[in-house]
A and B are shown apart, each in its own frame.
Chain A
Amino acid sequence: MSQAAGVNFKKSTIDALIAGFLALILFGPIVGVLLDGYQFNFETDRVAWMVAIVAIGRFAISSFFQTEKGIAMSFRYANSNDGATVLAPGHKSKMVWIIPLVIVIGLLIPFIASKYVLTVVILGLIYVLLGLGLNIVVGLAGLLDLGFVGFYAIGAYGLALGYENLGLGFWSMLPIAAILAAVAGAILGFPVLRMHGDYLAIVTLGFGEIIRLVLTNWASFTHGPNGISAPLPTLFGLEFKRRSRDGETFHEFFNLPYDSAYKYMFIYLVLFAVVWAVLFIKHRLVKMPIGRAWEALREDEIACRSLGLNHVLVKLSAFMLGASTGGLAGVFFATYQGFINPSSFTFFESALILAIVVLGGMGSTLGVVIAAFFLTVLPEMLREFAEYRVLMFGILMVVMMIWKPRGIVRVTRTGFAPKQGAVK
């Protein structure tokens, strides 16, 4: 008997048959009958393929989890939800050269890359900002915010509407939009922070949708679904257009031939600087008492409150900081696109930002940066699979939660030893 490995193939076969039968029920109607008006076409091959894949996959998984390796693995899954890796006290990373290297490469990119690559990288950086903002709220403070796109929209529309109504340009709107978004975060945050996780998620989701619906329906102010144009940034008053109505343009001032890539180069450099500033601020905040308080609150709210942490203040600060980062990202998005409309700020966008945080690792800065580039640049490169993008995000979220709920990059933390002569 080949039962030495302990694999019961009869059981696997039964599992596979059940899974195949279920797949037939599930996929049969939706995949197998393609609606065409009130008529339909049968698509039996598609169903046959999917049922076969499910049955074979189930057989393989069922057999694998009966082997010793599989049993060990399923045991590890059940116990893999541990926290941060703690490094030895006084640990010095050998990777210190990596940050200067990234900065140098980052500064070189606009001068060597093509315009297309540059636009993709800008988009990636915008999502890094968004991911960092949401990471404060979800990853560090553990407050699931499903309406993060609302703050993004406030930043973007802040720039466009501020320019149209008040004549404010990119540079004045950049801080104002961050403050506006933070105020919106406080207005939303103050009443809802008493609630626990799930309710908070739904309320923030409602908030994001309310903002989008108002932007769509309040046509006299926001121009509704038609959208609104946003201004480009200026360099000490020099514009990046072909011709300027008032004063000189950038290429006239420097006697260069006009090239539309200049504006992307400039946006990129400003954005690059802002991302590093946010990274630095966040890096310091996490080590400050406020950052520790966020993480403590995420792990156990009741314990924190009984130890005297003001949970409203702690949560509110996380919410406002996250929101203002989202607002900054919105300003860059608006100026980069030159034109915005409400369809850029749907719930899917919130889910994408959430996927970045989840994939990168809750609370891990490096993970978020990598995940943001992975999730925005990869779909650009794999254009032919563009329609499978959302499906992939969904599968990614489910699989990550089952497999590695703390994300790919684990949070590391330097341990510390008490000083000599300290009170024991």
Chain B
Amino acid sequence: MDIVLQQLVNGLTLGSVYGLIAIGYTMVYGIIGMINFAHGDVYMVSAYITAIAIALLTFFGIESFPIIIIGTLFLTVAVTGAYGWVIERIAYRPLRNSSRLSVLISAIGMSLILQNYVQLSQGANQQGVPTLLTGAIRFSVGDGFVQITYMKLMILLISLLGMGILTYVIQKTKLGRMCRATQQDRKMASILGIDTDKVISTVFVIGAMMAALAGVLITLDYGAFDFYVGFIIGIKAFTAAVLGGIGSLPGAMLGGLILGLSEALFAGLISSDYKDVFSFSLLVLILIIRPSGLLGKPEVEKV
């Protein structure tokens, strides 16, 4: 029983982070109908920036934990957002009217570029960040106990906050209305005076920023990362986006939570060696059985 509860806690935090990354996939897919294959690597870049930001902040003599966290979040989100913009500008905008295959291949190329660029500049070794936040709340359940570390609480709070802000921006602000209009009908939106290229860029920046949020949180929690971490977590976040219904924002968050919980339960109860196989198989199954996901609308191909 305590294992199940513990895995539920772990799965909830993992799932909220998957949800954050899945937002990037789902928004980009919703607006230009492409899978941003390099999104997982944007997450990886943000993990490196997190470690660099922490190292820089401690180098300048800042000791207090809240300032380090806020400073790291701010720096990482800003720089990763710039990466999102540049990637879109270089690799995707020139292909706006090309076939889907071309854009996807370009995205795969971008993913390879990012991985190798980070590997060349930072080395292939695993890197790490120091543990900044220790301590936990414990509940005793039956014979054992369930432990919720403060770090996990912080992950949950910050990712909920991030999703809340994003939902507000999309639902209530002018920028959000522009995004939604472009998503519904790009040509119509541009006729009505919306600079759709700018909106698409903004969506990429938002996606990268959400991935950066996830990057900071996961890196602080796990402590270790290398240039290859983006691949697996990228596919899992994509699975989450598809599970929730690609193109749907609440779907991405819901899909992230479901995937995180089921993966944690699978790892705890059945086999942790095969947990990646489980996620990939889940992805394949969803795409076969219900490609529109839980909250998505079925896609009709038109001539």
Contacts and interface: CB of A to CB of B under 8 A. Distances in A.
A28 B82 CA distance: 12
Interface string A75-103: 00100010000000000000000000000
B112 A390 contact: yes
A339 interface: no
A55 B33 CA distance: 32
A253 interface: no
Interface residues of B, number: 68
Interface in B48-93: 48-49, 51-53, 55-56, 58-59, 75, 79, 82-83, 86, 90-91
A397 B49 CA distance: 26
Contacts of B123: 34
B53 A391 contact: no
A351 B118 CA distance: 18
Contacts of B109: 355, 393-398, 401
Contacts, number: 173
A209 B130 CA distance: 32
A2 interface: no
Interface stretch (B147-155, B179-187, B279-287): B279-287
B83 A26 contact: yes
A197 interface: yes
B134 interface: no
B238 A202 contact: yes
B122 to A, nearest CB: 6
A33 B49 CA distance: 9
A73 interface: no
A191 B291 CA distance: 12
Interface string A378-392: 000000000110110
Nearest to B29: A198
Interface string B110-122: 1111111111111
Interface stretch (B6-14, B250-258, B270-278): B270-278
Given A30-B121, A201-B104, A210-B281, A405 B291 contact: no
A390 B116 contact: yes
B211 interface: no
A31 B121 contact: yes
B105 interface: yes
Nearest to B35: A198
Contacts of A34: 121-123
A72 interface: no
B51 A26 contact: no
B35 A402 contact: no
Interface string B125-149: 0011110000000000000000000
B267 interface: no
A136 interface: no
Interface in A1-55: 22, 25-26, 28-31, 33-35, 37-40, 46
B104 A30 contact: no
Contact of A391 (B51, B95, B117, B130): B117
B34 interface: yes
A216 to B, nearest CB: 9
Contacts of A77: 94
B159 to A, nearest CB: 23
A29 B77 CA distance: 13
Interface string B29-54: 00001110000000001001101110
Nearest to B50: A29
Nearest to A142: B101
B112 A394 contact: yes
Contacts of B102: 401, 405
B303 interface: yes
B288 A209 contact: no
Given A30-B45, A81-B98, A191-B288, A401 B110 contact: no
Contacts of B56: 33, 40
B206 interface: no
A171 interface: no
A35 B35 contact: no
B52 to A, nearest CB: 5
A54 to B, nearest CB: 10
Contact of B277 (A191, A210, A395): A210
A367 to B, nearest CB: 15
A347 B106 CA distance: 16
Nearest to A350: B108
B231 A197 contact: no
Interface in A282-305: 301-303
20 contacts: A22-B86, A30-B49, A33-B55, A35-B55, A38-B129, A142-B101, A192-B284, A197-B100, A198-B104, A202-B242, A203-B288, A210-B281, A217-B277, A354-B105, A387-B119, A394-B110, A394-B116, A397-B109, A398-B110, A398-B113
Interface of B: 33-35, 45, 48-49, 51-53, 55-56, 58-59, 75, 79, 82-83, 86, 90-91, 94-95, 98-106, 108-123, 127-130, 231, 235, 238, 242, 273-274, 276-277, 280-281, 283-284, 287-288, 291, 301, 303
Given A25-B79, A394-B110, A395-B113, 11 more contacts: A26-B86, A40-B59, A46-B121, A195-B291, A196-B301, A201-B35, A355-B109, A388-B120, A393-B109, A397-B108, A401-B98
Interface of A: 22, 25-26, 28-31, 33-35, 37-40, 46, 77, 81, 138, 142, 144, 146, 191-192, 195-199, 201-203, 205-207, 209-210, 213-214, 217, 301-303, 347-348, 351, 354-355, 358, 387-388, 390-391, 393-398, 401-402, 405
The 7 closest A-B pairs by CB, nearest first: A397-B109, A394-B112, A394-B113, A206-B280, A390-B116, A391-B116, A398-B109
